[in-house]
Structure 1
């Protein structure tokens, strides 16, 4: 693992940028690891289960050369189930984590049982598919939820479904009322505290001025782990999200942004992914501690930059201290300036020359 306990997890979202080619998927794994990402993520789906034969492609998908039908595009981009074990093994060998978004419960069970995947990522398009969310939650793995296109109530309902799945027996009948009740229970707080909820804008690329990173504050207030799935161009938005409190960043990775395909255009190439990772580590270091106290780099400058109380005239023992004979100056020592108020009117206990430190 490249991630430390105090850092933000960087997920290199290979997604379907392998274009249905296992060798390309393995190249993406290696590129993610070389770039320093913590996790590489793909998408696992059954094309025939995911979309009907007549489902249209999105405008950005059609513009990327995918034609008019989703089913045709999905079949081109799908990898056989046998490929995922090979990809997971290669990911482990590279020293990073494997993750793949399942679009159906059978794919999720396969990924858990056959690759050892220990988390479940849910894409934005499935956030309102509460029956699927319930099936996934009942697999008992920590979850990451992307929330593109969602309202806050839809996010709460998704979280309630996750809580309901963890807290109830498999034979308990779900309902919208039941999942909303589950969301409000004290027991749900523990479950949701380890659930990652990712702000996301489902556009490829997403406009920078619609990133709405303040939503991260809203998610933090829900008691979940805030994250950001970034579809904007470049790395600025992702780095800003870390500064805003994102604990997980997901960013698409491609070997070549000029290739035809639905997600290449909104992806980073390997060199750019490395830039993002380095930037993310720096931002995380910059965030530091929420405790305000002098840090190591500045301690040595305190005596030089701060003022202390000194004698500005000769003072003899028994003289009365006043602003006529003591004042705050940079002198490398002396009582803090705030002590001036208490010292005024007191009697000097000894002689002071000009420039001598005044102590309390």
Structure 2
């Protein structure tokens, strides 16, 4: 799907779109993202004139009440800066792609040689746009914030209907920031059941990395999180972005979780094979007994180690006869009995 995508690990995306306006800012973000261990960086490709009318307003916690057109205009980036940023991400061996907001953005990204497309939640119900992107037969990452399950089905059908099955579906909540009571991580499992042919993931707009890590534990195969060098910087997305230390923590935690997940087979771990013997219990003698003694329940106790007859056979041992004299705490073996 992507160069760094592997079926045995979660794919982690640092969303840097909206958090830079110059190449130097982007370069520093990409360097920090690479050092954090992420798989990809993602931009946002839009022009204010084609993404929002002049009457559209933001009414969100991170923006306050403000003109969408004016805010988009402030943070849109030009064609040359796109190319420079993509080239630098490539030089750092990161996957790179973007979220377009209009067919003209898609056409431009095709000129840049983009290998995949992220669809923002604002376009999840824009079926003509989904079909346009899907026809390119490149991987599509679909965020589903603000969607009902029926709308997600419509979006998936629009993409698959163009013969494109290279799809990842992300649970998202389009509240900036998203507070814990609105996260609804169980929706990841709902999406996984409903769309079992596709990987599912999570686009995280919360204020900490906890939700992302929990999402991976619940089956997310892809995590997208905004990324910044300074959470106090000017701009609507910095507050809900991971800084380099937080992103490094998240990547390390996810990789540790993947190791800890194991095979799913309930069996003794390799590290338990010795303790399985030493720390389990056996049937042992309570006191010294002579050969030929017929054992009663009072003659027997259950103690460590687990090198002898297992406790589950206690009733079978009672009434047996010792073939030799044995001392207190002797661990019984079957060949000690008749």
TM over 0.5: yes
SS at match of 2:150: helix
Q: Check the 8 A contact 1:230/1:237 in 2, yes or no.
A: yes
SS at match of 1:291: coil
Paired residues for 1:73-88 under 5 Å: 73-88=71-86
Q: Check the 8 A contact 1:29/1:40 in 2, yes or no.
A: yes
For the pair 1:210 / 2:208, whether they are aligned, the reply is no
For the pair 1:295 / 2:269, whether they are aligned, the reply is yes
Change (3 A) 1:312 1:114: same
Residue 199 (structure 2) aligns with: 225
Mapped partners of 2:32, 2:17: distance in 1: 14
SS at match of 1:165: coil
Paired residues for 1:117-266 under 5 Å: 117-166=114-163, 191=165, 195-222=167-194, 223=196, 224-266=198-240
Residue 338 (structure 1) aligns with: 312
Structure 2: gaps (5+ residues): none
Measured after TM superposition, the shift of residue 278 of structure 1 is 2.3
Change (3 A) 1:196 1:297: same
Mapped partners of 1:315, 1:159: distance in 2: 76
Mapped partners of 1:156, 1:257: distance in 2: 36
Residue 37 (structure 1) aligns with: 38
Residue 89 (structure 1) aligns with: 87
Q: Check the 8 A contact 2:22/2:81 in 1, yes or no.
A: no
Mapped partners of 2:252, 2:207: distance in 1: 17
SS at match of 2:264: coil
Q: Check the 8 A contact 1:331/1:355 in 2, yes or no.
A: no
Provide TM-score, normalisation by structure 1. Answer: 0.82
Q: Higher mean Cα deviation, 305-314 or 119-128?
A: 305-314
Change (3 A) 1:105 1:343: farther
Mapped partners of 2:319, 2:5: distance in 1: 59
Residue 98 (structure 2) aligns with: 100
Q: 1:268 aligns with which of 235, 242, 247?
A: 242
Q: Check the 8 A contact 1:35/1:274 in 2, yes or no.
A: yes
The alignment yields a C-alpha RMSD, in angstroms, of 2.6
Measured after TM superposition, the shift of residue 233 of structure 1 is 0.7
Mapped partners of 1:161, 1:91: distance in 2: 31
SS at match of 2:201: strand
Mapped partners of 1:308, 1:2: distance in 2: 51
Residue 8 (structure 2) aligns with: 6
Structure 1: gaps (5+ residues): 168-190
Change (3 A) 1:62 1:308: closer
Mapped partners of 1:216, 1:234: distance in 2: 18
Q: Check the 8 A contact 2:45/2:98 in 1, yes or no.
A: yes
Mapped partners of 1:213, 1:347: distance in 2: 61
Aligned residues: 330
Mapped partners of 2:150, 2:87: distance in 1: 39
SS at match of 1:15: coil
Mapped partners of 1:87, 1:107: distance in 2: 16
Q: Higher mean Cα deviation, 308-317 or 43-52?
A: 308-317
Mapped partners of 1:3, 1:225: distance in 2: 12
